[in-house]
Structure formats: structure tokens, C-alpha cells
Structure 1
Amino acid sequence: MVNGTSHGSGRDLARNASHDSVGVSTSNDTYDHALGALLGLAIGDALGMPTQSMSHERISLEYGSTPIRSFVDASPNQPIAPNMKAGSVTDDTEQALLLAGQLMDGDGDLDIRQYAYALLNWEEDMKARGSLDLLGPSTKRALERFQAGMDVEQTGILGTTNGGAMRACPIGIANRPGPHLAETARRSSIVTHNTEQGIESTMLVAAAVSYGIDGADPEEAMLMACNYVAGYLAMSRFEGHALGHWSPKASVIARTRWAINWARNHTGDDAVDLYDHDMFGDQLRALIGTSVEANESVPAAFAIATRYAQRPYDALCVAANIGGDTDTIAAMTGAILGAAHGASAFPESLATTVQDVNDLDLATTADRLLALSGRNDA
């Protein structure tokens, strides 16, 4: 326990949330889309768990030449989660639910110091369980600086990876597109990913989820998210506010726009026949990349979600087999497509399994987050 305060893990927060604590009057359709976002996140994460940090070729050697299309146990040679049980989620879902709990505790606002302690306690809990699936490189470095007494505005100034984006789904459920969504995404990035890339990527995923819940189709939601983030960045620059620390690395928003347009050229029934999964994957790895860097993994997720916009489960399977940061790419892809399509986008058996294996109650979490969004007041 860090700082003498106990903060539950993401799993605990999802399990312990109570329907009685918040009254929700959102429409069943809106609720279905919010639940779909959380299910897509968790199912994508669990599908990508056994392949994370492995090359596409290594995945085939470890799990067979047939692509993974269901939950499987992690290989003993899995570099992050050896022998992990089929259907288990990783830090992506755990930390997203941890953030959800922080938002619910703060009535929609985020206390960033409390959030930092919650992340530290989460890692302590993981270590106690013997897990190797701990904090990512940017988050770990930033929290070490936080513990050493560094100002919270400075701890995350080197964080250009996707840790903020992987946790962003609850922000999109708890907020309609607007200033509060952007500010919450920014605040959630300050401690660990206080860079242009970290903040842009977090806003992008949160906004795409939010637009999907509000009824936009997947491609429309992603394009609107790009416009939303670009507009917010332009306004911030006009007002003289720096949105995150500068990094020489490529822009997430620019590369995501490019990735969406590139994927659109390989979408549709004819394109799917002519430009098969393997060719698409080869080109995605070569042109976009699938590393933990936000300016690779986020555009990769948006590209996959674009090409397979009407085939959400196929999208998650492609992401899980693509190589690189597969669990995070599949989790972000699932959150975006689940928000746009709803819970029925994914096999019911996998939705049940992922919640049973990880002791999750995503329905209650969706309910409570929606209560913060103001959608029931519209």
C-alpha cells in the first residue's frame, strides 16, 4: 500500500461497483454501446495477451500457422505473460478499470495525485500475485520520479508510449465530446505521458469511444475524433497553451489520419478479397508499425478498425495476430468498435468468459460511467 492509502485494482473496482450507488436513466441503446466499449476493450486485450511483444513470425511458431481466433493459454515462451490462463486480461484492461474507478470516485473529475498512487498500488498488487505484467516503460519511469518527489507536471515529460491511450476508454464513456473530455484526457496523461504524443493519443481514443456511444458509425466516429483533437490542439496553440511537452517523434494525430485514409483504400468486399489479411498485416507493420509508441500503435488500431469497421470481431483477431503490442492494439480497436456497434458485436461466449476469468462486472461499470456523462440529461 503506497502513501498509507488503499486503492483497489482495476479488477476490484469493476467487481465492487454497485448499481445502488448511482441512478442511471440512459437509454438501453446508449448503455449497450457503453458496455460494448468495455467488452471490446477486455476481449481484445485477452485475445492479444498470449501474443504481446512477439513478432508475427514468432506468433505462428508458438501457436500454429492458423491465426488465433479465440482465447488461448499463453505459451511458456511468452515474454510478458508466460503460461497465463486463456481469457486473462492484461494491464490494458486492469488500468482502464482503475481509471474508471478514479473517475467514479471523483464524480467525473480526476485527482491526478490520487491516480498516481492508485497506479503504484496496482503494481504492488501485481507483484504480490507474481505477475510479470507490470507498469509500462513510460508509466514506470514517471511514477519512480513521482515517488522521488518530482513535481507531478514534470514526471511524464518523456512519456510518448501508449499507456494513456490504452486507459482512455472510460473517459469516453463518462464524457460526451466537449471540453471536459479533453481536459480529463489531458489530466489522465499528466503524471505518466505529459507529451504531445501521449495526450493526443489519449484524447483520440477517448473521443472515438464517445462519438461511437453517441451513435456515430465506426469510421465517422474515428474521423470526428481526429477533427475534435485537431481542433482542440489548434485552440490551445492559439491561446498560447502548450498541450504536453514537445518530442521530436512523429505526430499521433497526423499519422492516425494517414492510417485511416490508407486503410480506407483496402476496405470493402472487393478490397477484402483482393487485399487479404496477410498482405494488409505486412503493409501495416511496414508502413505504420505496431510498437508501444503511441504514434505507431494508435494509428495501427485506427487502421484496423477502419478496414474491419463492419467486422468487429475479425478486427480484434487481426490485431491479436499482427505482432508487436498486440494486446493494446486489440484493446483500443475493441473499445472503438464496441462503442460504435454495441455489446452484440462480440461473441457472447467470449464476453462471458472474459468476465468470469477476470472476475469483472463490466455492466455495472458501464452504468456508473454513463451516469457521469450527462447523456441521460440530453
Structure 2
Amino acid sequence: MTTPTLEDRATGCLVGAAVGDALGGPVEGWTPEAIAERHGGRVRGIVEPFFKDEWRTARPIAPYHKGDGHVTDDTLMTHALVRVYEKVRDHLDAYAVADHLVPDLIGTPRWIPELEAEALPLQRIFLAEKWIVARIHYGHVDPREAGVGNIVNCGAAMYMAPVGVVNAGNPGAAYAEALDVAGAHQSSYGREAAGVFAAAVASAFKPGATPSSVVSDALALAKDGTRAAIEAVCETATAHSDFESALAPLRAAVAPFDTVGPEYRQPSLGARRPSRLHSIEELPVALGMLLAGAGDYRESVLGSVNYGRDCDSIATMSGAIVGALSGAAAVPADWSAEVARASRLDLVTPAESLASVAREVYAKDVDRRRAHEAAFAALAAV
């Protein structure tokens, strides 16, 4: 077997994330039992909206057309971050969010699959993402601190795959950059998860990387409740060789660290508050499904989808990591083609563009490193 190229892995990563997002969207918020009852068994591919033709008015989904291959805000935000990299063509920080991401969200109409209309991305993204605009554009808050006070959720983590691509093979650098970028959006374990997810993606780009090595790299960087949750979930996942048997055990393993509580649509009073003891649910479960599925795209992503709850984000994360591990061929071509057609999105070009940016950034990093080496050598010789 040939080792996938940087471009192939980048394509697998972003396409894999988008397809996972689209598969998880129509069953987001439900339990595995409700999903199986609605679909007559486990979801095995692209499915229709949970409420079929009543998606425009059925609560709590309305007015979004989730299903039929439509991506959600996870992918919209991921592509928006890619566009920031295309402009900056270097590492990003919180100020890049203020200077480029916020204007993109509020100034350029784009096709929004779930609204079946062209609209500003701001009109689709969740309140936790609108926070970025409110705090930075209207509140003029220091971008590095703008995430403080926002609800703590997976909102920043879900679109951090591009940070991992740009730092391909360097999990530590991806972690640090994602923490900086996510500071404009999240605090506490939401920001931490953004760093660890970016690190996991960067780790998956290493030649010879495996699901286990990705988890090891993630654990080496993760802190506090995020680390504990990943440890607990991944230890549980190693006892399973398929997603079906892993569904309930993974939920039980992450439950002590998850603030939302057993009823996803009725969060507990302590939900989404800053804490050093807790973790978002999505990232540990995505890594657990990566292990239970042994890095197979269908098994890992379908496990993420059928897990329910915030399964579009879970499948976005597991899909991104598997795609980075194995390249574009890992993502079923019929799924990716249908998601691109239904969502009216080019899923490949953003990945190719991001890989080009990654090469440019690496060249700049080499130049910066050599300049530092020369300066330190001269200094040390004195």
C-alpha cells in the first residue's frame, strides 16, 4: 500500500468531515433507540429528515432541512476557516478570527443547504458561534478573550480540522495554534477540546499513524477533564470491535464528564459551564469510535452517527481523523458525491487549497527555524 500524500490526506480529512456531518445531521439530538425506531434499524448511509416533509415546521428541528445529504454549520464553519487560511497564508491566531472570520460570517452571502437559500452564514450558525460576532464585531472585545462567558460546548472544536491540516504531522503545534484561534470563541474545556481535536488531526497525518497513535498523541497534550474523559472512553472502546456493541458503553464512560446530562434536549442546570473537571462529549466519543471502528471510515462514522445526541459533530470529528489517516479513498465515493450534490458544495477544492497553504506555511516555518538557529548559535558562541 502506498502512503497517502499530503494532498490526499487533506482531501480525506475535509471531505470525510463533511460527509460525517451530513450523515449525522438528520439524527442529531436523538438517542440510539429513537434513531433505530425511526429508521427501522441503524442508519447505514444518507437518510431523510427525521420528520420527513414536515422539517420546515416540526420542532425542535425547524426551520432547518437536516438530512438528504445536507451539511450543517460544522462544515460551513470549517470551510470559513479554510478561507481565512487562504487569505492569511500563515499560522492563525485570535486576531485572524477578528480580522477575517468575523467579516466572512457577516459580509458574504453563501448557499446554506439547511435553509435551501443563499444567506449570510451568520443567519445559520448556532448562538454559540454568533457569540464571536457579538463579542468581537459589536463588543470590540480583545479577540484573545472573546470566548470567555460563552457557553462551553463543541462549537470551536467542530471546525478545527483545518488547523490540524496546516500543522500536519506536528500535533503540539496544532494544539497550540488551535488554542489561540479558539480563544476568540470558547473558554475552558470547549477551548481545550479545540486544541486536542486539531492535534489529533495533525497526528493522523504522520506516515504510519494508526488510531491508537492518534489517541496517544491526543492524551499527551490533553489537560484536566478532557484528558480524563478521553482516557475513560478510549479504554472502554478497546474492548469493542464494532460500533454496535460500543454505543451504550461509550455513553456510560463519558457521562461523568459531560455536563449536558442524560436528556440532550433538556440540559442540566450545570450544563456548559466552565470547569476543569468536565469535558465536551463529542471529542472523546469520536476518538472512541475511531478505536472501536479500527480506523475504518464506515464503522467509525456510522458509530458516531448512531450514537445520537450531538452526532453530526461527533461524526465530523471521527470522519476528519479517519480521512487524514487513510486519504480520500477511505470516504465512500457515493456518499461524498451525493453530499456535494445535495449541499451544492465543492468539497475537494477547499482541501486542495488548504494543502497548498500548508506547504507554504511549512516553508515559512523552516525559514523561521533556521533564522532562530543562526541567532542562537551566534548568541551561544559569545
TM-score, normalised by the number of residues in structure 1: 0.76
- Corresponding residue number in structure 2 for 1:192: 185
Rounded Cα–Cα distance in structure 2 between residues aligned with 1:122 and 1:264: 45
Deviations 1:292-313 (A, max 9, x none): 8652111111111111123221
Q: Is 1:210–2:202 an aligned residue pair?
A: yes
1:117 pairs with one of 87, 103, 128? 103
Deviations 1:16-68 (A, max 9, x none): xxxxxxxxxxx96332211111121011001001011223333234x323111
The letter for the 2-side match of 1:202 is A
- Corresponding residue number in structure 1 for 2:144: 153
The letter for the 1-side match of 2:308 is G
Rounded Cα–Cα distance in structure 2 between residues aligned with 1:224 and 1:59: 33
- Corresponding residue number in structure 2 for 1:18: none
1:321-332 counterparts in 2 under 5 A? 321-332=306-317
Q: Secondary structure at the match of 1:260?
A: helix
Rounded Cα–Cα distance in structure 2 between residues aligned with 1:83 and 1:295: 26
2:14–2:323 contact (8 Å) kept in structure 1: yes
The structure-2 alpha-carbon separation of the partners of 1:149 and 1:124, relative to structure 1 and needing over 3 Å to count, comes to farther
The structure-2 alpha-carbon separation of the partners of 1:265 and 1:60, relative to structure 1 and needing over 3 Å to count, comes to closer
The letter for the 2-side match of 1:337 is V
Deviation of 1:72 after TM superposition, in Å, equals: 1.5
1:1-378 counterparts in 2 under 5 A? 29-61=5-37, 63-74=38-49, 75=51, 76=55, 77=58, 79-80=60-61, 82-110=64-92, 111-114=96-99, 115-121=101-107, 129=118, 134-146=124-136, 147-159=138-150, 160-176=152-168, 177=170, 180-193=173-186, 195-215=187-207, 216-227=209-220, 229-230=221-222, 251-267=225-241, 272=242, 277=244, 279-289=245-255, 295-374=280-359
- Corresponding residue number in structure 1 for 2:373: none
2:22–2:70 contact (8 Å) kept in structure 1: yes
The letter for the 2-side match of 1:203 is G
Deviation of 1:133 after TM superposition, in Å, equals: 8.0
Identity of aligned residues (%): 26
Deviation of 1:334 after TM superposition, in Å, equals: 0.4
The letter for the 1-side match of 2:16 is G
Deviation of 1:288 after TM superposition, in Å, equals: 1.2
Deviations 1:113-147 (A, max 9, x none): 12233334479975875899833343233432332
Deviations 1:262-317 (A, max 9, x none): 211224xxxx4xxx71x421222233148686521111111111111232212211
Q: Secondary structure at the match of 1:87?
A: coil
Deviation of 1:95 after TM superposition, in Å, equals: 0.4
Rounded Cα–Cα distance in structure 2 between residues aligned with 1:90 and 1:328: 9
The letter for the 2-side match of 1:43 is V
1:72–1:87 contact (8 Å) kept in structure 2: yes
Rounded Cα–Cα distance in structure 1 between residues aligned with 2:122 and 2:171: 37
1:50–1:78 contact (8 Å) kept in structure 2: no
TM-score, normalised by the number of residues in structure 2: 0.75
Rounded Cα–Cα distance in structure 2 between residues aligned with 1:254 and 1:185: 20
The structure-2 alpha-carbon separation of the partners of 1:351 and 1:337, relative to structure 1 and needing over 3 Å to count, comes to same
2:20–2:312 contact (8 Å) kept in structure 1: yes
The structure-2 alpha-carbon separation of the partners of 1:28 and 1:56, relative to structure 1 and needing over 3 Å to count, comes to closer
The letter for the 1-side match of 2:317 is M
- Paired positions, count: 323
Structure 1 stretches of 5 or more lacking a match?
1-26, 234-249
Deviation of 1:191 after TM superposition, in Å, equals: 1.4
- Corresponding residue number in structure 2 for 1:9: none
1:209–1:336 contact (8 Å) kept in structure 2: yes
Rounded Cα–Cα distance in structure 2 between residues aligned with 1:85 and 1:346: 18
The structure-2 alpha-carbon separation of the partners of 1:212 and 1:179, relative to structure 1 and needing over 3 Å to count, comes to closer
Q: Secondary structure at the match of 2:68?
A: coil
Q: RMSD of the TM alignment (CA)? A: 2.9
2:254–2:285 contact (8 Å) kept in structure 1: yes
The structure-2 alpha-carbon separation of the partners of 1:207 and 1:106, relative to structure 1 and needing over 3 Å to count, comes to same
Deviation of 1:260 after TM superposition, in Å, equals: 1.4
Rounded Cα–Cα distance in structure 2 between residues aligned with 1:331 and 1:366: 15
Deviation of 1:91 after TM superposition, in Å, equals: 0.3
Rounded Cα–Cα distance in structure 1 between residues aligned with 2:123 and 2:28: 11
The letter for the 2-side match of 1:190 is G
